[in-house]
């Protein structure tokens, strides 16, 4: 997880943003760029019995690959070894992603289906990856001014693997 400082927007502070909601079934160019620049997002999964889990995924900007407007890929790095997310996806591929807009208070919500990519040749192309996850987008919801919190630029973790070129 990257280190950030936060502050709360005062009710009287006019940021020029209005609370709006936009829905779609694919990522628009600005959303694709936000994902390419992301260093952190959160993934929600559930077991086949409905036991829910939410996890953090992070890395240097560029660790999320936008393959198309409906297909994302990210590396699964060494972590705590519990494999809740990957285990849930094996049993139930439905998943959700949340990408916070750290500097704007926006939030990007993605719904879809994910699968783990175990192909050694594919995984070897991504520095530090132990496996890859592909996510097929089925619904997009972007909420402007979703939060009164704003966050500083991140202090990247020194152990983040480099991003594949």
Report the pLDDT value the prediction gives residue 107, as an integer from 0 to 100: 97
**pLDDT higher than threshold 80 for residue 17:** no
**Range 119-126 average pLDDT:** 96
Fold for 18-148, please state it. Pnp Oxidase; Chain A (2.30.110)
Report the pLDDT value the prediction gives residue 83, as an integer from 0 to 100: 82
**Range 101-127 average pLDDT:** 96
Over residues 50-73, the pLDDT tens digits come to: 999 999 999 999 999 999 999 999
**Range 21-29 average pLDDT:** 98
Report the pLDDT value the prediction gives residue 81, as an integer from 0 to 100: 67
d(CA 113, CA 110): 10
**Range 9-26 average pLDDT:** 81
d(CA 69, CA 110): 12
d(CA 130, CA 89): 16
Residue 141, beta-bridge partner list: 23, 109
**Range 117-136 average pLDDT:** 96
Would you list the domain boundaries of the chain? 18-148
Smallest CA-to-CA distance from 80 within 53, 107, 46 is with 53
**pLDDT higher than threshold 90 for residue 2:** no
Report the pLDDT value the prediction gives residue 21, as an integer from 0 to 100: 96
**pLDDT higher than threshold 70 for residue 12:** no
> Who wins on pLDDT, 129 or 164?
129
Report the pLDDT value the prediction gives residue 64, as an integer from 0 to 100: 97
Which of 10-24, 109-123, 126-140 bottoms out in mean pLDDT, i.e. has the lowest?
10-24
Residue whose entry in the numeric block shows the structure tokens 């160019």:
29
């Amino acid at each position: 997880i990257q280190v950030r400082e936060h502050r709360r927007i005062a009710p009287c502070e006019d940021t020029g943003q209005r609370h709006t909601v936009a829905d779609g079934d694919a990522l628009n160019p600005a959303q694709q760029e936000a994902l390419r620049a992301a260093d952190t997002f959160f993934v929600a999964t559930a077991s086949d019995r409905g036991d829910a889990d939410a996890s953090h995924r992070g890395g240097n900007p560029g660790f999320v690959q936008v393959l198309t407007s409906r297909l994302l890929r990210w590396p699964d790095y060494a972590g705590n070894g519990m494999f809740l997310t990957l285990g849930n996806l094996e049993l139930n591929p439905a998943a959700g992603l949340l990408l916070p807009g750290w500097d704007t208070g926006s939030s990007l919500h993605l719904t879809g289906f994910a699968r783990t990519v175990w192909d050694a040749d594919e995984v070897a192309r991504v520095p530090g990856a132990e496996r890859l996850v592909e996510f097929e987008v089925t619904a997009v919801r972007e909420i402007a001014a979703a939060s009164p919190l704003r966050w500083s630029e991140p202090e990247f973790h020194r152990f983040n693997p480099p991003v594949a070129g």
